[in-house]
Amino acid sequence: MAETFADLIAAEDILLLVNAAITATGQREFRTDEWEQRLSLGFLHEYVRVNYRPVYAAVLALDINDHNAALIIEQLLRSAGDASAAEKRVEGGLIAARLAVLPPQRVYRLFRALRAAKVNNRRTRAIQRDWLAARPDLGLDAVKYRRGLKTVARHTHLPLTPRTCTSTGTGTGTGTVSDGELGDFLFRPGRRTRYAHPRLDAHRRARYERSALYDLPYTVAEGFAARHGVPRETFLRDIAPRMTRQERLRTQNSGPATDLTVMPLTRLAGYVLSLPAERRAARRAELTDALRAAARRAAGPHVGSWGRVSAVLDDSYSSYGSGVKPRRPLAVALGAHYLLAALAGSYRAHWTSGCRDPLLVRPWGASPLGTRILDALEDAPERLVIVSDGWDNAPPGLAGEVLRIWRTRLDPERRTSVVHLNPVYDADGFDVRRLSPSVPTAGVRDAEDLAALVEIAQFAEGRTGLAELRAYLDRRTASFLDRHRGGAR
């Protein structure tokens, strides 16, 4: 019995990290400051790494956010002396596979943090060199991430001897970059009067030739455009072919229109919520069609397979989030609304504000979660999904009491599956805030991960232990490494 209890405690500790790694970004939230978030997250990472290192590394195979993935990699490399040879082999594969899917700017930031921490062992240098060797175009990296590439070259003592690297980026054709050119561009920028690589040469020419800036990535060209005094509207129109989907969305109000139907669900929901209500109403058909299309893509083959579904969706004032992540919790709830509608055979939504038009939701009012849960249970659903930050205050505690009585007295056979998804990390509790011990709670970062998180939530009910959780992580690790085989060292 003691061993079973210990397993349950260990599983709970690990789930704390999983929920945090999905939701927390170390930024200010509605109720906690940035320093509280970072302090809480730092302690949680160190605690789980020290006590459950193999499982800590396996979390890299889950759908965690980039901030926590980088933290886990940094922690593992900084504490390499604590790992056995077998653990290092597994960690090396997970680290290489995760680095391959992280945004390059995040990876370069991680490498700078390792340099600042004076982590420069052979294993770390090998991981960095392997990642650089797999980059499709180091010439592009030299232009777009110049500071980061310089840091890695110095930190790993990367020998910039002549070799060829194919340029595969978009733009004015492809070219090759020799390490001699890379070295000159990074460390001796005035040495050459011309570069064979088109991006490197475009960067050189953009200092005095306005047309050359349109051969550069958007983020680099933007600075040159300001230097040349190019009008913003003209610049955005002409640079449009170079812009990524995310850049087009960020400049939607001042630049060329983007195809909303190809945007990820949660990002699209955030864009919709950023528009004034009158613009949302004017573009109702376009925005609704785009949200439904994104939801169907996220649902994939599971469209219409979930039976009767009801949802309680939190659009109270706290769903605004914070100035650094405005309306993020509400965007998750809005995305979940459209995804659940796609997954369900029949579906009903209950917003805490009572809003009946999801396109016009806004952060407003208190959180009468208990009342809305009662409304949802009256639908007799097969599944009840609650998307909320867990702060039930109208009146306080009613949601937890409703769920307790429902689960223990009215539905002990669990005819209705209930899960709570929380998009906000609670720094004080080292976890996402829960509504009731009788209902599983999982952290959620993006609405499109909802289906996978419902599976993770089963471990939060307290009825499964460490063995089941380890088996689940082993399956996810094997699947993750299979998808990225060849990138592991």
Tens place of pLDDT per residue across the chain (489 aa): 344 566 667 778 888 899 999 999 999 999 899 999 999 999 999 999 999 999 999 999 998 999 999 999 999 999 988 999 999 999 999 999 999 999 999 999 999 999 999 998 889 999 999 999 888 888 899 999 999 999 888 888 777 654 434 444 433 334 456 668 888 888 888 788 888 889 999 999 998 999 898 999 998 999 999 999 999 989 988 888 888 877 876 776 544 556 687 789 999 999 999 999 999 999 999 999 999 999 999 999 999 999 999 999 999 999 999 988 899 999 999 999 999 999 999 999 999 999 999 999 999 999 999 999 999 999 999 999 999 999 998 899 999 999 999 988 998 888 999 999 999 999 998 899 999 888 889 999 999 989 888 777 767 665 556 777 788 888 888 888 888 764 444
Residue 393 sits in the same domain as residue 301: yes
- Cα 304 from Cα 288, distance rounded (Å): 18
113: tokens are: 């943090």
Residue 294 sits in the same domain as residue 431: yes
Q: Which domain holds residue 305?
A: 279-445
- Cα 183 from Cα 139, distance rounded (Å): 11
Residue 297 lies in a domain: yes
Residue 373 sits in the same domain as residue 481: no
413: DSSP letter: T
Residue 380 sits in the same domain as residue 435: yes
Q: Strand, helix or coil at 422?
A: strand
Residue 256 lies in a domain: no
Residue 284 sits in the same domain as residue 424: yes
Of 388, 378, 296, 310, the residue nearest 342 (C-alpha): 296
Residue 438 sits in the same domain as residue 302: yes
24 near 37, Cβ under 8 Å? yes
Number of helices and strands (H, E) in the chain? 22, 9
Residue 21 sits in the same domain as residue 120: yes
- Cα 188 from Cα 427, distance rounded (Å): 46
pTM above 0.95, yes or no: no
Residue 423 lies in a domain: yes
Residue 246 lies in a domain: no
Residue 351 sits in the same domain as residue 478: no
Residue 340 lies in a domain: yes
Residue 365 sits in the same domain as residue 489: no
Of 272, 264, 267, 312, the residue nearest 288 (C-alpha): 272
The domain total for the chain is: 2
201: tokens are: 């040469």
Residue 294 sits in the same domain as residue 437: yes
